[in-house]
A and B are shown apart, each in its own frame.
Chain A
Amino acid sequence: MFEDDVIPASILRAKARASSGKSSPLEEEVVTLFDQLRDRLLRYLLSMGLPCSDGEEIVQEVFLALFQHLQLGKSRSNLRAWVFQVAHNLALKQRNASRRDRQNVMDEALLVNGDPNPEDQFAANQRQERLLGVLRALSGQDRRCLSLRAEGLTYREIAQVLNISLGSVSASLTRSLARFARADER
């Protein structure tokens, strides 16, 4: 219940330190990327079924790894895909370490994390129920392709993150959306 507004006490201490010293251009670059990508990355991790606190931890790890990556002078090509790829791998590792039911994680992310207001739940129309049904029926990879595309990644970036071919990405997205489009016909 506190997650939305929790501030680590270390931050309170760090603020004082940070205000006195200037950060390096590399630090600023990483923070700028963090501002651009953090929400998208966290949504993707949540859609993989991770609890918000675990997602936040992974996001932090990813951007610290990015800092190290850049500090070591490694490739700067498509850092957005790199960031999602590292996050994806860490999330899989985290999930493998836990005993959560993988089949239902997306459902959990969408249903349990959804608006808990009973009135809103009643207001959810039949079409939404059907869409959730379609979503449940998708394979894990299809859901991830959709989720990454929803966060603005190109097909090539999605292929890199999920380590699949460009054609597979295209086929996956088309298959999923065609099923969504058919939801009314059921």
Chain B
Amino acid sequence: MTQFSIKRRQLLAGIAAFSALPAVGLSSTSVFAQAAAPVAGGILKISHSTRVASLCIMQTSGAAEYLIGDMLYSGLTRMGMDMAPMPDLATEWSADTEAKVFTFKLRPGVTFHDGSPFTSKDVVATYQAILKPETASPARSVLNGIADIAAPDELTVVITLKNSYADFPLALTHPNARIFSAKALAGPIEALATQANGTGPFKQKTYDSARLTTLVKNEAYYADKKPYLDGVELHYFPDLAAETSNYLSGATDAMLEVQQADFARIAAAKGSKGQRVPSGRFVNIVMRADQKPFDDIRVRQAMAMAVDRQTLVDIVLEGLGVPAADTNISKQYRFFADVPETTYDPVASKKLLAEAGYPNGIKIPLVCSNRPAIRSQVGIAVKEMAAAAGFDIEVQTIPHDTYLANVWRKGNFYVGYWGMQTNEDAALTLLFTSDAAFADTAWNNKTFDGLVAKGRTELDPEKRKAIYAEAQQLMAKEKPSVLPMFQDVLTASRDVVQNWTCHPMSKNFYVEDVWLKRA
């Protein structure tokens, strides 16, 4: 099953409708048209190449950890393949006219894996835990717009925000914002790293972070007849050659992430199918706008013209991606605006550099962390391309922690790597607004900040579309960073596996929909 585009599904007319107005209580909707009826039974074996260091989904951020968290825990809402929130533990939600007070109706009859009932107090306890700085949860940035959480009865939660935010239910799909039981949170949080107790479709059976984690079907899962699988095994292979060999020989049924270099071979292998999921995952080249030489917008534009985007996609991504126009809003986002891409023009770039006062080009080091390897691959490729425009780039690859300690948010020219975010607001406030959580471009553009703030509180979808379009055009013109391409998310599964897929954000996998077709 190869997907080259994501179809948009609108449950109700009007885009604002499915964020702020009640979503009728559907159980987790299957986004696949079933050709045959699903058959229950079987164990799915998935291989992964990054360690599962902890089962506590509130704190983790590794690829395999998202997968496990998605299977063990549920949130109030869940991200759908069309970038809209689906009901999960909340069956419906509504907002006041200002989109400041949100009321969530919770699903009745849900129990945690240990049998205890799920009620509104678990939601309150979870969100309060996330808001504590010592929990160090990545979801904190999403929840700290909350002014108050109340639980008027066992199946209702009322959340009041400090400011209007139409997309709040969407923001709650954050993978780290899954619900834990109040009882578990009363104890030490370290215990949750090895003991999972959630409401998800699968329960923890064994956990050995060094090689294998096994999960079993949660018989009490709220969705009727799901999950189909009896259990799931996650096999850890730190070396890609071994992981690939095991998958191709049939010892495992699915590979969580496939590298670009191997994808064609794996997709073409007998009994195996590869999947390309276009996504907003990107590599960007940060050009610090308050230091020389990038304080001059002409130099930034020259750099952008010195990169051949399609060739970059072809040689670094093996064609498994799309060129980008220096904004981090990809086609999958609802308010994506088709901004013209900067074409590769080394001659014009050279001229622009000369105009900016660099007739002999610029000699500058480009720092790349060594994790993941794609950073230095992009660095090397950009070095070669930009040479024709007069940029003499020296690629410096350094260890990830040195990069985090000494270069990130401090250096003036380095390669960043970020995944896709839940919505435009999250994406733009991640890096590019003046008060962004991880701001590192020092662009500090007041107009842009204003646009993003307006887009967040605006309720009318048409107006939001226009606002975000303007924001994207501004980014594309002023180029706080060179963002040359979006990377497809790549995964693979054997033919016997039905409905294995991965959301473009790589944080949801809908494993309750997966079944094994035995001949």
Chains A and B bind each other:
no
